[in-house]
Amino acid sequence: MLEPPTHQPSTDPQAAWRLVLDRLRGRVDETTLELWLQPLRPLDCSGGTLLLAGESHLVRWARDRCTPLLTEVAQAAGVAEAIAWIEASAAELAAEPPTRHGHDRAPHPPYAGGLDRRSTESVDAPPPELQVGDPIDETLTFESFVIGHSNRLAHGAALQVAELPASTFNPLLLCGPPGTGKTHLLHAIANYVATTAPHLHVHLCTSERFVSDFLGALRARRIGDFKDALRGVDVLLVDDIQFLAGKDKTEEEFFHTFNALERAGAQLVLTSDQPPGMLGELSERLRARFASGLVVELDRPDDALRRIYVARRAMEELDAPSERAQLSHLADKVTDGIRTLEGAILSTIAYRTLTGRELDQALVDDVVRRLYPQKHRAPERPTIRRIQDAVCAEFDLDHDALVGSSRAAAITWPRQIAMYLARQHTEASLPTIARAFNRRDHTTVMHAVSRVTEQIDRDPSVHSQVSGLVDKLR
């Protein structure tokens, strides 16, 4: 259980943010500090939360990459226990006064169809309605989503849910590694429903925000208001649900909220980094709930999808065809996901603008080297075929037998080990691994991973054998 802070954080947001920035020096590079963090505006520092505002691209970049670090630094500095975000236009930011204390003004609840709007209530006014949820990013729509082989099924399921909430797939769980488009699809659903069915109450939040709102309501003794705000929604969208793990009280509250909304006929859409069966740190009853609807896995974007995305962004950001062609090299160099690729695109354009350098191959290489130095050091991951060959050599099998239909124990066990290694040591999704072993259902891979994991824990000889195979694959 979380203990209340023993310190008394400063309510001066400017002083709090300066202290956080000072303590970030040495922990992040100067370029990141200058381009992405220093332009943010501290608006409030009351109630244990430091509220930061900025233009949409700045907030999205900093929120996705830096929230855990900023929270850690703010807590260590004794200025806040949590970080919150507001996206605003340049005009809105320019209209704000230079400081804002918690007793002056507080944020209104986010409007379901767009950005937060801030109030001008005085300290003598009645307490504002409890703020829960995150603002919806109006730029993340189905139209702006780049469709490829890796995300086509997820896009189709999300669009069907948006068109007919609570009529088809409920709940819908989108799972996959970071940067594959899960968050984009959540916001796309929210924007579509807000436009086509404005009478429906849409609520979007990250699991981190759900935890923060729940604890804030507990501290303020307004848990009833918190429940009322959530259980009256028609469409609930929750991002990165895996981060509820280990937070027993919040997990229990979410379970009851989930059940109440499901009984009331609300649509639920969730995202996670892995399928329900792999979220072992979450309670079994929550995992069962998440798996009770449609589960769709998104793969990392393939070469074609990355190229299409960079080409589209280059058309939006650059006028010169030669610069657009140079920017296209990022599709080959940044392969982690669309979010990482977007960061590289924005950073490359910012470097060109701030330094006056020509956007050429050298600049692209320089940005990639500065932002992602690990890409020049990380060992190459083994392929599924290489894993299959190593297992065949270990157990004296031929490849056709390993991927064949035989259920003999002498073949099934090596096959399960190969599936386990493919899941643990490649970036391939469960459906991709299943296809590589000629299996239609990816639950076969999930079963294999579960069984091998259990045997590794129980049998030292299995642990030694699998460890030996991992060493051979390095």
% of the chain at pLDDT higher than 70? 87
pLDDT digits (tens, 9 = 90+) for 456-467: 878 888 888 888
Residue linked to tokens 């505002």: 53
Per CATH, is 152-297 categorized as 3.40.50.300? yes
| pLDDT tier at 129, thresholds 50, 70, 90 | low
Q: Per residue in 428-459, is it b (16+ CB within 10 Å) or e — as a string?
A: bbbbbbbebbebeebebbbebbebbeebbeee
Predicted pLDDT of residue 375: 53
Q: Are 241 and 277 spatial neighbours (Cβ–Cβ below 8 Å)?
A: no
Q: Extract the tokens encoding 145.
A: 């989503």
Lowest-confidence pick of 59-73, 99-113, 198-212, 350-364: 99-113
Mean of pLDDT values over 171-175: 92
CATH class of 303-376: mainly alpha
Instruction: State the Cα angle at 84 between 78 and 90, rounded to 5°.
Output: 120
Q: How would DSSP label each residue in 117-157?
A: -B----TTSPPPPPP-S----TT--STTPPP-TTTHHHHHH
How many residues does the structure list for the chain?
A: 474
User: If you average pLDDT over residues 40-63, what whole number do you get?
Assistant: 85
Residue entry with tokens 């069907």: 160
Q: Give yes or no for residue 114 having a pLDDT over 70.
A: no
Quickly name the fold that domain 13-95 has: GMP Synthetase; Chain A, domain 3 (3.30.300)
Burial class (CB in 10 A: 0-12, 13-18, 19+), 7: exposed
Is 141 buried (19+), middle (13-18) or exposed (0-12) by CB count in 10 A? Answer: middle
Q: What percent of the chain has pLDDT over 90?
A: 21
Q: Which fold has domain 384-473?
A: Chromosomal Replication Initiator Protein Dnaa; Chain: A; (1.10.1750)
- Mean pLDDT for 170-193 is 91
Q: What is the pLDDT of residue 31?
A: 65
Provide the b/e sequence for 17-32 (b: ≥16 CB within 10 Å). bebbbeebeeebeeeb
Q: What's the pLDDT tens digit per position in 57-97?
A: 788 888 888 888 898 899 888 888 889 888 877 666 766 54
3-state secondary structure of 107: strand
The reported pTM is 0.53
- Evaluate if residue 5 carries a pLDDT over 80: no
Q: How far is CA 237 from CA 161, 180, 208, 260, in A?
A: 11, 17, 13, 15
State yes or no: pLDDT of 451 exceeds 80: yes
The secondary structure of the chain in percent helix, strand, coil, rounded to multiples of 5, reads 55, 10, 35
Instruction: Read off the pLDDT band of 412 (50, 70, 90).
Output: very high
Q: Say what the pLDDT of residue 244 is.
A: 83
CA neighbor of 375 nearest in space, from 347, 352, 341:
341
If you average pLDDT over residues 446-454, what whole number do you get?
A: 90
The answer, yes or no, to whether residue 107 has pLDDT greater than 80, is no
End-to-end CA distance of the chain: 41
In the block, tokens 């050429």 appear at 360
Q: How far is CA 30 from CA 108, 109, 344, 371, in A?
A: 34, 35, 16, 11
Task: Choose among 159, 392, 174, 408: nearest CA to 269.
Answer: 174
Tokens 């381009």 belong to residue: 35
For 407, phi then psi, to 5°, come to: -110, 15
Domain boundaries, the chain: 13-95, 152-297, 303-376, 384-473
- Does pLDDT of 120 surpass 70? no
Beta bridge pairs of residue 294: 172
How far apart are the C-alpha atoms of 92 and 117, rounded to whole Å? 10
CA dist 234 to 166, 169, 395, 422, Å? 9, 14, 54, 40
Return the axis-axis angle of helices 460-473 and 409-425, rounded to nearest 10°. 60
pLDDT of 104 higher than 70: no
